[in-house]
Structure 1
Amino acid sequence: MDYLQTISQSTPIHNAIRLIQNLPLTHKLEEFYKRASRNELIFVGAAAFVTLYNLKAYVNAKRQKLNLPPYVPYGLPLLGHTLYLMASPFKFVDWCNKNYGEIYDINLMGKTITVTSKKCAEETFKAESNDLSLNEGIVNDMLHLNYLFTDREMILSSKANAVVVRAVLTSQRVPLLIPTIQEGLERGANVLLKSNEPTIVKKPSIFFQNYVAYMSVGSLIGEEIATNTEVIQSFAQFTGDIIGNISYFVLLPKFMHSYILPFLQTSYKHHHVMEKYVMPMIAERREKQRLAKEAGKEDELERDFLYGLAEYVHVDEDGKETLFSEEELAHNVLMIAFAAVHTTSTNLSYCIYWLIARPDLKQRLLEEINRVTPGKARVTHQNLLDMPFLNNFVRESLRQSVDRLAVQKKVMHDYTYYNGYQVPKGRMIHTTTRQMNFGETAGRSSIEEMNPDMSNNKPCSAPARDFLTFGMGKHLCPGRFFAIQEIMMSLVYLLKNYDFDTVSGKKPHPVSSIANIAVTNCEEPLVFTPKN
């Protein structure tokens, strides 16, 4: 209090107060305050707050000294444009695209983001990762996988996984995995679904994650571990743990993340499973590779993902080689587990719910399946090629499943787009992927408008300007051949062997959303009834 008294007795402060008191505006404000009603004061206060809020954003933009994209007006204090997206996402995004062009800024939950469409969106997809980083934008800033893995393991994941997947899961090799995938999906169905009575699936996301884990483990890391339930459960549960944590990270400020981590995830349990079962496999493969090399012979190991990972050596820009330990490689398998299980299970879920919501599509697909693979015959690669409607249906489901604002990339340094607009370092870049898929965000957004014939027999794995679900350019998803094959084989098997519907019998909305902003799969409980 003594300090405050000393300050209040300061001559400069006294002079400043006297000057403010003598201003004509001061007297007018005092008179307004005396005669104004409570509602009028609230209105004026709110208007002043909005003015200062927008003035602050304007001043900050001017300080950047960059040719920034146009800023969409009418943002609300603190919330920005969030409520517009929540209330009418399709119309809002289309209105912004129409009025502000290929690149513009909006405010989402108090943070300014840059939105790109058309050529700017294509540039966002194709940009080098040291310019616009998907790894920083999604892996670190949204999923926060950097909390769960060491710096070396994060480098391993960002450098090795795409290289190894491109080498071992090519369009030529993936068809060879069909027998292993078939055994896995049948094993998963036998474990997860009852053979002589209906099975009610109360938590579809968890069900599909487990189902895909059974399919994927044998093909990705070795048939010798395809029946190991601990590894299969870790594949599935790690994915669920990561997705379940996202909402907490979004709602809480970053400085609080370290305090809540012990209560959120169980990743280290999954680390121990990988160390127990996968680490010895990697050591064994490395030893066989070494012995074969010394003998001048070709090793006879299966060329799966684990094989490619075991022999991977990272070479940096200076030519320095880094060999990763068996423990680091085993932990990295969880990264692939997340990518494989999350992508495939989510999109398989979309397909199942589309078939329930559109019985006409379900009947048409079932007729094609029974014609090409009659009876109990297992599906072959040629069978899949002979099912054009299956291909078109899966492709349209994938097109429908993208976010209104997708592909969250982080700007690594001040970046200039082809049209001269500049985006500051640290900014998040989103793309209007759905608008690019359908011409406008609102295009074919109702359940009845879903039309597989619009794909015109274009392969699911082939990128196009109207099919950006798997990305574009050299950053195209390397595991898309594997994911698509698993989805198609699952649909064939499930349709031939089970009737499935919602427990309520109501028509579901296949693509749900969180606050109308981020899409997510439907969680309406399902019932699977075995045929025969």
Structure 2
Amino acid sequence: MDYLQKISQSTPIHNAVQLIHRLPVAHKLEDFYRRASRNELIFVGAATFLTIYNLKAYINSKRRKLNLPPAVPYGLPLLGHTLYLMISPFKFVDWCNKNYGEIYDISLLGKTVTVTSKKCAEETFKAESTDLSLTEGIVNDMLHLNYLFTDREMILSSKANAVVVKAVLTSQRVPLLIPTIQEGLERGAHVLLNQDGPTIVKKPSIFLQNYVAYMSVGSLIGEEVAKETEVIKSFAEFTGDIIGNVSYFVFLPKFLHSYILPFLQTSYKHHHVMEKYVMPMIAERREKLRLAKEAGQEHELSRDFLQCLAEYVYMDEEGNPTLFTEKELAHNVLMVAFAAVHTTSTNLSYCIYWLIARPDLKEKLLDEINRVTPGKTRVTHDDLLNMPFLNNFVRESLRQSVDRLAVQKKVMHDYTYYNGYQVPKGRMIHTTTRQMNFGETSGRSSIEDMDPDMSMNKPCATPARDFLTFGMGKHLCPGRFFAIQEIMMSLVYLLKHYDIDTVSGKKPHPVSSIGNITVTNCEEPLVFTPKN
């Protein structure tokens, strides 16, 4: 304390302190401090902290002297343009597009992000991952899966999963999985739903995650574990654990994440489940591969996802091969579980709630299902091809369920768009996805506006400029054929065997949102009543 007192009395510092005391603002701040409540001081402190925290990125972007996109004005202190998006997202985005073009900067909770539309948005979708990275933007900076997996496991996920899924879950091979999927969904229905009376589902998201897990485990990992409830439970719960933590990561600076991780993450238990059940399966398959190779024979193992993953060898930039361990491969299955369960359960939820909200669409779909697959007949691939209304309904449901601002990609180095505007390294890029899907009618979001005929029999898994649910270009979701088939098969089975309604009997809004910005599925409790 004597040392600090001595320094404060030195001539330069003493003069600086005296100068600050003479400023009128100093007395006002001191006055505010004396009168302010504890909550007011906390709010001001947080605002000051966030401002200083984001100041470094702003200064760095200015120093680079890039041809930055136009910055949208009228941002509010601390909140930026967040409040405008929350109050009127469609009008705000339309106004920005009209006044600032295809690319511009806005502030979300005090953080500058770049928004792209039209050609710039298409470029964002199609850009190489070395330029604009979805893995860095979503997987690491939003979901923070890198907290749960090693660096080698993250490399495995980013390099192997898309390659393996594209090889295994093609449009030609996915129909061959129909019997396995059918057994899984029937098993899930019998376990999760009463067969002799109504079942009230209070938490639809959790229910649908479990239901989809029953469908997916046999097809993705192998029929050996299709009935293992521990594996199915991990498939379902891992998704919920990850999504449940996102809100904490969004509002806290990254350097604080390590302090809250022990209180949030419960996902390592899923690693142990995969080690218990999946590791031995991979080891057994690799041993059979080795023996077949030594005997000079072709192996007779099924070409499912797990098999292709067991055979995968990663070649680095220098051409050196990397063979991953059974433990790393088993952990990687959780990455696939998250993608499969989250995508399918969320979109299946949208479809179910649309049918409840629009009884006319439900009646029309039931007529088609009963005509193509009468009685208790199991659905086939040909049956699905002969249900155009089912295809149009699912496609339109998915078109309706995109975010106002979506596809959070991270800029890996200073990036220049086709029109000359440059975005600095580290910036997050968003796209006006709903506006691209619906154009000038993107603001029409009433339940009555939903019209399946707008899809005009275009296949659900086929991308288009007005259908960006699964992405665009070579970065299309590789599992889209599998997800669409599971959604369609689920709707056919559930509608044939159960009456589905909200517990309240009220018409739900199929697509909910968080802060009117990010869409999410409806959580209105459901009741499933078996049909006689």
User: Structures share a fold, TM > 0.5?
Assistant: yes
Identify the residue that residue 124 of structure 2 maps to in structure 1: 124
Residue in 2 that maps onto 1:236: 236
- The corresponding residue for 2:249 is 249
Look up the match of 1:98. 98
> CA contact under 8 A between 1:415 and 1:422: conserved in structure 2?
yes
Q: 1:314: which partner in 2?
A: 314
Q: How does 1:65-104 map to 2 (within 5 A)?
A: 65-104=65-104
Shift, 1:443, TM fit: 3.8
Alignment of 1:384-403 (within 5 A): 384-403=384-403
Match of 1:455 in 2: 455
Match of 1:155 in 2: 155
- What is the CA deviation profile of residues 328-387 of structure 1, one whole-angstrom value per residue up to 9, with x for unaligned ones? 000000000000000000000000000001111101100000011001110000000000
In the alignment, what sits opposite 2:11?
10
User: Could you give the per-residue CA deviations for residues 307-347 of structure 1, whole angstroms, max 9, x where no partner exists?
Assistant: 11000000011100000000000000000000000000000
What letter corresponds to residue 202 of structure 1 in structure 2? K
1:256 corresponds to which letter in structure 2? L
CA distance in 1, matches of 2:17, 2:328: 65
- Per the TM alignment, residue 298 of structure 1 is displaced from its structure 2 partner at its CA by 1.8
What is the CA-CA distance between 1:290 and the residue it aligns to?
A: 1.6
The 1:6–1:491 alpha-carbon spacing in structure 2 relative to 1, beyond 3 Å, is: closer
Once the two structures are TM-superposed, the CA of residue 97 in structure 1 deviates from its matched residue by 0.9
Q: Distance in 1 between matches of 2:224 and 2:478?
A: 25
Q: CA deviation at 1:181?
A: 0.3
Q: Which has the larger radius of gyration?
A: 1
Residue 68 and residue 498 in structure 1: after superposition, are their counterparts in 2 closer, same or farther (change >3 A)? same
Unaligned runs of 5+ in 1: 31-37, 39-45
* Residue 474 (1) aligns with residue 474 (2): yes
The 3 A distance-change label for structure 1 pair 291 and 353 is same
C-alpha separation in 2, matches of 1:58 and 1:306: 45
Find the aligned partners of 2:136 and 2:273 in 1 and give their Cα distance: 27
Per the TM alignment, residue 278 of structure 1 is displaced from its structure 2 partner at its CA by: 0.5
Give 1:276 shift.
Answer: 0.6
Amino acid aligned to 2:498: Y
Contact kept? 2:210, 2:232, Cα under 8 Å: yes
3-state SS of paired residue (2:113): strand
Aligned to 1:41: none
400-409 vs 60-69, greater mean Cα deviation? 60-69
**1:446 equivalent in alignment to 2:436:** no
Query: 2:7–2:13: 8 Å Cα contact kept in structure 1?
Result: no
Is the CA contact 1:114–1:428 (under 8 Å) kept in the aligned structure 2?
A: yes
Contact 2:91 2:443 in 1 (8 A): no
Aligned to 1:284: 284
Which letter does structure 1 place at the counterpart of 2:291?
A: L
Q: Which residue of 2 aligns with 1:437?
A: 437
Match of 1:363 in 2: 363
Which residue pairs with 2:515 in the alignment? 515
Does the aligned pair in 2 maintain the 1:285–1:307 contact within 8 Å? Answer: yes
Structure 1 residue 9, shift from structure 2 partner:
6.6
Which residue identity is paired with 1:318? E
Letter in 2 for 1:312: Y
In the TM superposition, what whole-angstrom CA distance separates every residue of 1:398-422 from its partner, at most 9, and x where no partner exists?
1111110000000000000010000
Aligned position for 1:374: 374
**What is the match of residue 171 of structure 1?**
171
CA distance in 1 between partners of 2:266 and 2:475 (Å): 30
Paired with 1:62 and 1:264, the residues of 2 have a C-alpha distance of 37
Q: In 1, Cα distance between the equivalents of 2:291 and 2:12? A: 87
Q: Helix, strand or coil: the match of 1:200? A: strand
SS at match of 2:238: helix
Superposition RMSD in Å: 2.7
**Which position in structure 2 is the counterpart of 1:351?**
351
- The reply to whether residue 330 of structure 1 matches residue 343 of structure 2 is no
Question: In structure 2, how many angstroms separate the alpha carbons of the residues matched to 1:71 and 1:377?
Answer: 58
Partner of 2:426: 426
Give the distance between the partners of 1:477 and 1:18, measured in 2 at CA: 61
User: In the aligned structure 2, how far is the partner of 1:382 from the partner of 1:291?
Assistant: 39
| Structure 2 SS opposite 1:351 | helix
| Alignment-mate amino acid for residue 150 of structure 1 | T
Counterpart Cα distance in 1 of 2:369 and 2:444: 26
Match of 1:33 in 2: none
Relative to the length of structure 1, the TM-score reads: 0.92
- For these two proteins, the number of residue pairs brought into alignment is 514
How far the C-alpha of 1:299 sits from its partner, in A, is 1.3
| Secondary structure at 2:104 match in 1 | strand
Residue equivalent to 1:294: 294
Give the counterpart letter for 2:107 in structure 1. N
Quick one: structure 1 residues 60 and 525, their matched pair in 2 at CA, closer, same or farther if it must change by over 3 Å?
A: same
Q: Deviations over 1:469-520 (max 9, x none)?
A: 0001110000000000000000000000000000001111111011111111
Deviates more, 1:514-523 or 1:244-253: 244-253
Q: Cα gap change, 1:12/1:508 in structure 2, threshold over 3 Å: closer, same or farther?
A: closer
Runs of 4+ in 1 over 6 A off after TM superposition: 15-21, 56-60
Q: Percent identity?
A: 83
**Contact 1:444 1:450 survives alignment (8 Å):** no
Q: CA deviation at 1:14?
A: 5.0
Q: 1:60 to 1:327 in 2, by over 3 A?
A: closer
CA gap 1:77/1:301 in 2 versus in 1, 3 angstroms: same
Distance, in Å, in 2 between the alignment partners of 1:225 and 1:78 is 50
Residue type of the alignment partner of 1:182 = Q
Matches of residues 22-33 of structure 1 in structure 2 within 5 Å? none
Alignment check: 8 A CA contact 1:90 1:441 kept: no
